[in-house]
Structure 1
């Protein structure tokens, strides 16, 4: 067998069963070898950012890595934004980047580039295979590294891919090492929580699932501490029957208000909060003056640490959970608020929400707080164009669960070709485009940064924040990619369209026309 087949067989033997791909010439032996390894599912994306975003969504739901196949340095560069999000989410991923044959690199062909430099900006592990005989072992190392919550990048020269590989026994994965709990950090956190001082516990990482949420809620009830979740969690369980935890606000002023008065801040899987951007005359560090910061656990051991802490501070106590509640279905012209109300009223049991609604989704959390229990995947790294690709990966990881992709109109255009992959794979995804015809977040930020002329922006400034002229027609775009679509303008129309989409298998798109939140 050749190197490509050995690589694929090793990935499958190590639990990597899906490959999201946008290949080129240097990867053709890998592509050909897919028919020899039927256990590997291959999914074509028309843009590399869709492939990397899909692998992110898959890992968040499947709790194991997918593979991504990319073409040389430029292909990797096209996928970097969603690899940045994956890095911030601490999800496992194995990225295979094809390269020129080893003897061809000296000629500086047009696609020659520094792949290691590009990969290093988003990867926790980068390696170039130099001999076909080493490929299986290198693949095991890539998968093992990824399981520590990093993007692993394996660079595969073409001649290594087509070269003959030795017939060997299946390479065995290295045992996973679970995150360790620091006993000293546990004792220190317990002392702080018993002191009666105003304390905030900020959770993230693996603590945003039921176990961690329950433990944090028990601790709060027993000690009077406040619990907050990081602004953009990798995967947050919420809804009826799940302990409810408020997320730290996106805008710095609101986050400072949530943290005000805290004498101690305990970090459980989260990092110390900072403002997303710098603003003239405002703080970057959001920790209140005089507040002591304590790290209880990192992202991969936060749930266990909180559970041990809860057993110490609140033995035998049960966590309070959110009650079942649905908003009334709204009527009349559609707004961002009524969109959220319809979602809360109709969300199916155990749905997966992929949220890139941005400013238009401001009331979503409140409207879905009592909806049937569901998972929410968020934009961890802030690099937009994440939503529709991540929905692809989530749907492939959980084919029996409905996926609702809430997508702002501006960021939708970054990776809109994900709709084609949804149609091709017949994935059960309902995409709702919240179309207000503008970059609303930037309209808000223009005011917040205090730019000269922001109070009354001129025509050039206004033009750069408006995405009309021509008006984007998401119905035609979706239909052109094979996804049934309709446009709605009222609460009644949206409710009917959403019920229809949830009731039929396969992908659907609803373009929800709403007014801008900013004049």
Structure 2
């Protein structure tokens, strides 16, 4: 068994059985080792698709995937979506190929400081020193990536450690990832006193608290105390829709967020921080709460939100309180022109039960998400890190994690161009992904941000850096070139029909929504 075979065997032994790969010359022995029948290898045509897909896989599966990246430049190509994954607390094992130790001394063209590239966005970085240590290093990487919250582990694999003999019975560390920590009882009791005061309180949920039993328990707290429940504008994954506890969404725009928060005397955080502005703006605050509003932590990031809410309900004497659940809104099929309201109606009517909605629609999605809370139960995934080009890779990974569920990926045309190679992987793997391109032929969000920054009216040159209509992107041809069926729509009823049609066939589809 060589080092590469030891690596793949150890990954699968540790429960990592998928690898999103973009290999190069240094990784050919690893490529051969991927023929292990227990490992599913998925080719991606850009490293940012590899890392984004690993992020989406973790968000839905809860266990890390691996990536295979080619030396420092390959890692650099994947860093933007590693950043997004880190912000979403997604676990990931990155395997980065490297020159053999003997070759590095000649400074070949692809030589770079891989550790220096990896460290800012990795929780753990290690360079394999010997083929006999590969299994130990991989097992350690998987253990780190599997911690709660999820961690980014990056392992550098020199070519000689890959092709040399590793031995048949590698020694492995005994590393059981620690479970979530219990919250401090004194902290929980303090929050109970805040809620018993009757003063207006907002509980902000993130992480594991936005789904499953934690979300249900949060709904009981709301029913018992009158506190309101919300999320930050961007959240890694939310279970929402009919039959679930509804979470409000703190607005993105600073003025709207300040207005939303001004009525609360207390803010309680669960696996998140107090609300802050996404960017700094001249003469606008970074902290969005009103003066005099207190901020109290119920559960820190990495603590158990289920235990926190159970302890809180016990402290309130409200353990038997039933949560108020979202009712199913009538599925009204819209007609007429496309706009935020009709797009939301079409979504709410078309989303099938149990689907996954990945949102990077930016300008359009800001207005539509609040209008779909009464749709069939589904999962919503947002971009936590703000680096655009996340949605189509994340949708790809989510579809591989949940092959029996349809994934809808809403993305603006500007964002889609960053990682459009995802379509090719979706076609090759036959993934059930409906990609919805909102085509307004511009970076519309930047037009709004131009005004928010107080930069004045944009001139012709500034507008030329925002508009993407010369030439206009042919999305139908783009999809066809990568093997994905596509349709263009320009009315609300056509949009609804196209979404429904996409659920009736296996495999990917692209819908261009012409705005």
For normalisation by structure 1, the TM-score amounts to 0.96
| Structure-to-structure mapping, 1:107-122, within 5 angstroms | 107-122=106-121
Counterpart position of 1:439? 443
Counterpart position of 1:502? 503
- The alignment status of 1:394 with 2:398, answered yes or no, reads yes
- The alignment status of 1:310 with 2:313, answered yes or no, reads yes
Describe the superposition over 1:66-95 as per-residue Cα deviations: whole angstroms up to 9, x where unpaired. Answer: 000000111000001100000000011000
Distance (Å, rounded) in 2 between the aligned partners of 1:64 and 1:382: 23
Distance (Å, rounded) in 2 between the aligned partners of 1:361 and 1:92: 27
Distance (Å, rounded) in 2 between the aligned partners of 1:146 and 1:127: 13
SS at match of 2:102: coil
Distance (Å, rounded) in 2 between the aligned partners of 1:153 and 1:64: 16
- The alignment status of 1:168 with 2:169, answered yes or no, reads yes
CA, structure 1 residues 427+404, in 2 after alignment: closer, same or farther (shift >3 Å)? Answer: same
SS at match of 1:353: strand
Distance (Å, rounded) in 2 between the aligned partners of 1:41 and 1:193: 49
SS at match of 1:206: helix
Q: 1:389, 1:418 within 8 Å by CA — same for their partners in 2?
A: yes
Pick aligned residue for 1:298 from 292, 297, 300: 300
Aligned length: 510
Distance (Å, rounded) in 1 between the aligned partners of 2:171 and 2:12: 10
Distance (Å, rounded) in 2 between the aligned partners of 1:333 and 1:198: 40
Counterpart position of 1:159? 160
Counterpart position of 2:371? 367
Counterpart position of 1:517? none
Describe the superposition over 1:100-131 as per-residue Cα deviations: whole angstroms up to 9, x where unpaired. Answer: 11121121111111111111111111111111
CA, structure 1 residues 43+173, in 2 after alignment: closer, same or farther (shift >3 Å)? Answer: farther
Question: Any stretches of 5+ residues in structure 2 without a counterpart?
Answer: none
1:170, distance to aligned residue in structure 2 (A): 7.6
- The alignment status of 1:512 with 2:513, answered yes or no, reads yes
CA, structure 1 residues 491+263, in 2 after alignment: closer, same or farther (shift >3 Å)? Answer: closer
Distance (Å, rounded) in 1 between the aligned partners of 2:38 and 2:306: 33
Distance (Å, rounded) in 2 between the aligned partners of 1:42 and 1:463: 41
- The alignment status of 1:471 with 2:475, answered yes or no, reads no
Q: 1:97, 1:154 within 8 Å by CA — same for their partners in 2?
A: yes
Q: 2:92, 2:152 within 8 Å by CA — same for their partners in 1?
A: yes
Distance (Å, rounded) in 2 between the aligned partners of 1:306 and 1:249: 25
1:42, distance to aligned residue in structure 2 (A): 0.2
1:197, distance to aligned residue in structure 2 (A): 2.9
1:493, distance to aligned residue in structure 2 (A): 1.7
Distance (Å, rounded) in 1 between the aligned partners of 2:344 and 2:292: 38
Describe the superposition over 1:271-299 as per-residue Cα deviations: whole angstroms up to 9, x where unpaired. Answer: 12211111111111123222222222123
Pick aligned residue for 2:205 from 195, 203, 221: 203
Describe the superposition over 1:464-487 as per-residue Cα deviations: whole angstroms up to 9, x where unpaired. Answer: 111101111111000000000011
The farther-off stretch of 427-436 and 491-500 is 491-500
Distance (Å, rounded) in 2 between the aligned partners of 1:366 and 1:196: 27
Q: 1:202, 1:227 within 8 Å by CA — same for their partners in 2?
A: yes
Q: 2:17, 2:39 within 8 Å by CA — same for their partners in 1?
A: yes
Counterpart position of 2:332? 328
- The alignment status of 1:353 with 2:357, answered yes or no, reads yes
| Structure-to-structure mapping, 1:39-54, within 5 angstroms | 39-54=38-53
Distance (Å, rounded) in 1 between the aligned partners of 2:173 and 2:37: 20
SS at match of 1:103: helix
1:308, distance to aligned residue in structure 2 (A): 2.5
- The alignment status of 1:66 with 2:68, answered yes or no, reads no
Distance (Å, rounded) in 1 between the aligned partners of 2:381 and 2:402: 14
Q: 1:239, 1:374 within 8 Å by CA — same for their partners in 2?
A: yes
SS at match of 2:169: coil
- The alignment status of 1:239 with 2:241, answered yes or no, reads yes
Describe the superposition over 1:365-410 as per-residue Cα deviations: whole angstroms up to 9, x where unpaired. Answer: 2332111110011101111000110011000000001111111111
Question: Any stretches of 5+ residues in structure 1 without a counterpart?
Answer: 515-519
The farther-off stretch of 468-477 and 217-226 is 217-226
- The alignment status of 1:218 with 2:212, answered yes or no, reads no
Describe the superposition over 1:426-471 as per-residue Cα deviations: whole angstroms up to 9, x where unpaired. Answer: 00111111111111110000000001xx2x3210011111110111
Counterpart position of 1:11? 11
Distance (Å, rounded) in 2 between the aligned partners of 1:94 and 1:115: 15
Q: 2:223, 2:321 within 8 Å by CA — same for their partners in 1?
A: no
SS at match of 2:358: strand
1:217, distance to aligned residue in structure 2 (A): 2.0
